[in-house]
Amino acid sequence: MAIQPIILAGGTGSRLWPLSRELYPKQVISLTGEFSLLQNTIQRLRTLPDALDPIIVVGEEHRFLTKNQIEAMGGSGRFRILLEPCGKNTAPAICGAAAFVAQQGRSRDVLLVLPADHLIRKTEPFALAVAEAAQLAQQGQIVTFGIVPDHPETGYGYIACGQGSQVESFVEKPDLETAKRYLANGNYLWNSGMFALTAETLLAEMTRHVPDIVECMSKAVDKGRPDGIFFRFDAEEMSACPADSIDYALMEKTDKAAVVKTDIGWSDIGSWRALWEVADKDDQGNAAYGDVVLEDVHNSLVRSEHILVATVGLRDTLVVETADAVLVAPIDRSQDVKKIVDRLKRDKRPEYHTHRTVHRPWGSYTTLEMQDRFQIKRITVHPGARLSLQMHYHRHEHWVVVSGTAKVQNGEQSILLKENESTYIPSCTVHRLENPGVIPLELIEVQIGSYLGENDIVRFDDEYGRLQQ
């Protein structure tokens, strides 16, 4: 039996701000070890004997970050990435993936739908649960994975179990007293948001209950276009699609819902408290990351990304430092971090959207200094990669190579720069930067001009398909 994994890698994880941002979401962050949550999800799939190479559904803006992360762990190159031009929640994303698989004549393959940002610590029980769910899916069931609760959690939805593998009902996130009753009852499971089903069953049931979503996403696939490992849903059709979660759109309506009860060491790591709960802790109950000094601190999470963070006398507190923001809050208020992100959005602050380090398909840049008429960046270019052929109307640029080798097109000139060599690019000059070497190219860029925004880029040639942006 072929199992086609579908990894949902949209979303931003706003409750894990300031580490998670819209352009650098939680699924690509290493929160629990060496690899990111996305990489751990892919690694876990490699333990399943019948699993095909995954199909990953992501937003357009995360396409190269996702591709680079998969390739960094030795991706086979046979995976596909489906690109959403706009976020419409999980129902359209899953429906679009199912329509894409059905278009290939594989509508009876079992689709294993997994969020990219979940933690699963028990791989053998996970594999057993997938095998059981796949059997039910082949019988025409839409199977969800129900997690055996070990404490009264108010941050998750619940599943009330019926006879056998049937679902009696789905329950919204409860208050604490209700969650305690569910735990004592023993008939309630956490709703994990993971599913096993065939494309045939899913599309038939969604046509029955939410036909407008099926119509829009089927057209988005029919009119979509391939681009190497990427496939772009048609923007016009997907924009017209209603936004809804798979739970509301289908699971609460269908009579084909089944559940596999499992204990797989699962967490959706949906908040800093959830991360603290699953983290390794010291004897005082603290989870510490990075350059951290703790003095008389208990039951706290303290994380440093760049500088020394020293704390004294804290209890049940969250402290997270990044290059441009620091978060301090009681751990039991970690769900309210989203309110800070919403406020930053309203105030049009850039800190909700991106870090000082911004990842690009060719590498990354880090803003070191920003003033009204100049800014300084550190640019890293991967070996063999090159930026677009471009021009700026409003800024001049000075480049100084600090490591590696740079091949530079500067107007009519083509020059090779090594460490401690530089060039000057006046405004309105067509130019390009390339790394012809085998080690990363590092250079310092000083921009001077009346306008320094990223949208002052006119692209003439770009191998990453960004001419229209």
Q: Report the CATH number that the domain containing residue 111 is assigned in CATH.
A: 3.90.550.10
Say how far apart CA 213 and CA 194 lie, in whole Å.
Answer: 20
* Total domain count, the chain: 3
Domain presence at residue 348: no
Q: Does residue 67 lie in a domain region? A: yes
What are the pLDDT digits (tens) for 176-230? 999 999 999 989 999 999 999 999 999 999 999 999 999 999 999 999 999 888 9
Whether residue 331 is found in the same domain as residue 395 = no
Element (H, E) at 409: strand 406-410
Q: Report if residue 72 sits inside a domain.
A: yes
Q: Are 391 and 409 members of one domain? A: yes
Per-residue pLDDT tens for 101-150?
999 999 999 999 999 999 999 999 999 999 999 999 999 999 999 999 98
Where does a domain end: 267, 302, 321? 267
Instruction: Let me know whether 94 and 200 are in one domain.
Output: yes
Distance CA 160, CA 186 (A): 9
Q: Which of 261, 3, 264 is nearest to 125 (CA)?
A: 264
Q: What is the pTM of this model?
A: 0.88
Task: Give phi and psi for 256, each to the nearest 5.
Answer: -105, 10
| 120 plus 244 within the same structural domain | yes
Res 347 pLDDT > 80: yes
468 in any annotated domain? no
Q: In the listed set 248, 267, 286, which residue is the last one of a domain according to the structure?
A: 267
Return the CATH number at 425.
2.60.120.10
Cα dihedral value 444, 354, 269, 57, nearest 10:
-100
Helix-, strand-, coil-residue percentages of the chain, each rounded to 5: 25, 35, 40
Answer whether residue 469 is part of any domain. no
Is the domain of 164 the same as that of 32? yes
pLDDT tens string 233-247? 999 999 999 999 999
Rounded Cα distance between 220 and 452, Å, is: 36
Look at residues 267, 284, 314 and tell me which one is the last residue of a structural domain. Answer: 267
In terms of domains, do 129 and 24 share one?
Answer: yes
Domain that holds residue 364: 357-461
Helices 63-72 + 37-45 axis angle, to 10: 50
The verdict on residue 347 lying in a domain is: no
Question: How many CA within 13 A on the CB side of residue 17?
Answer: 26
87 & 24 share domain: yes
Considering the domain architecture, whether residues 185 and 243 belong to the same structural domain is answered as: yes
CA pair distance 87, 209, nearest whole angstrom? 21
Confidence (pLDDT) at 76: 55
Confirm whether 349 is domain-assigned: no
